[in-house]
Amino acid sequence: DGGITQSPKYLFRKEGQNVTLSCEQNLNHDAMYWYRQDPGQGLRLIYYSQIVNDFQKGDIAEGYSVSREKKESFPLTVTSAQKNPTAFYLCASSARVQPQHFGDGTRLSIL
Amino acid sequence: DQQVKQNSPSLSVQEGRISILNCDYTNSMFDYFLWYKKYPAEGPTFLISISSIKDKNEDGRFTVFLNKSAKHLSLHIVPSQPGDSAVYFCAAHSRRNTDKLIFGTGTRLQVFP
């Protein structure tokens, strides 16, 4: 079954800690994306990657970092520099000029 | 600056009737528009799209209309079913920047019996 897997579904972090959210896809898509959703708001782009070993900042990249060492994987690290990390994080992937497919998200909360 | 706006946060429609969800945009460079549907605790799923060279695209019960002069698009669902109850997001991008998908804030549709 092809799809996008995000783990964990729920994540709790203490203030000052970095935390990494996992995103894996087996759709053979070149492009992968990370979005953040806050209550009452649309999805906002954090980072995206069109190809392995390359990625670009989105609209709200401050306090986040990513890597793209493998085509299938695009982990997102929420660093301690992110002042308001509590949100719902969504990973997506797409083939060229095709709509983005989304995972089921990770909800991050600060203890 | 909200480039894609969904001014109705919620909509309630009786089963069997038409649901009309609206979306406005401000960026004239946008030339491709998509609708996504989202259930609670799940990621959005792609529903239907339209290119700016068209003014209508239909897929089963779902039709999207685009009015470029008004910078407005709408999603029509006919007939509405209880399983259509979800949050619907409108999104847009330009041909020059297909990776920068800009989302609206969503409209929660409830279809009641």
Asked if A24 and A76 count as a contact pair (C-beta separation under 8 A), the reply is no
| Range A51-56 average pLDDT | 95
| Low-confidence residues of chain B: pLDDT under 70 | none
pLDDT score for A41: 84
pLDDT score for A110: 87
pLDDT score for B41: 83
- In chain A, what is the greatest distance between 2 CA atoms, to the nearest angstrom? 40
Kind of pairing between the strands at B10-14 and B19-25: unpaired
If pLDDT is split at 50, 70 and 90, which confidence band does A96 have? confident
pLDDT score for A1: 60
Give the residue from B15, B22, B5 showing the smallest Cα distance to B85: B15
Q: Which tokens hold the place of A50? A: 């069109």
Q: Do A40 and B105 count as a contact with CB atoms less than 8 A apart?
A: yes
Q: What average pLDDT does the structure give for chain A?
A: 93
Nearest to B103 among A9, A43, A104 (CB): A43
Chains A, B: CB contacts under 8 A, how many?
52
Q: Is B101 on the interface with A (CB under 8 A)?
A: yes
Highest-confidence range of A10-24, A39-53, B59-73, by mean pLDDT? Answer: B59-73
Give the residue from B15, B40, B63, B51 showing the smallest Cα distance to A9: B40
- C-alpha–C-alpha distance, residues A33 and A94, integer Å: 9
- C-alpha–C-alpha distance, residues B4 and B2, integer Å: 6
To test the contact with chain A by mutation, choose from B99, B100, B105, B108 the residue with the greatest count of A C-beta atoms within 10 A, namely: B99
**Which residues in chain A touch residue B105, judged by CB atoms under 8 angstroms apart?**
40-42
Residues A93, B82, B50: CA angle, nearest 5 degrees? 40
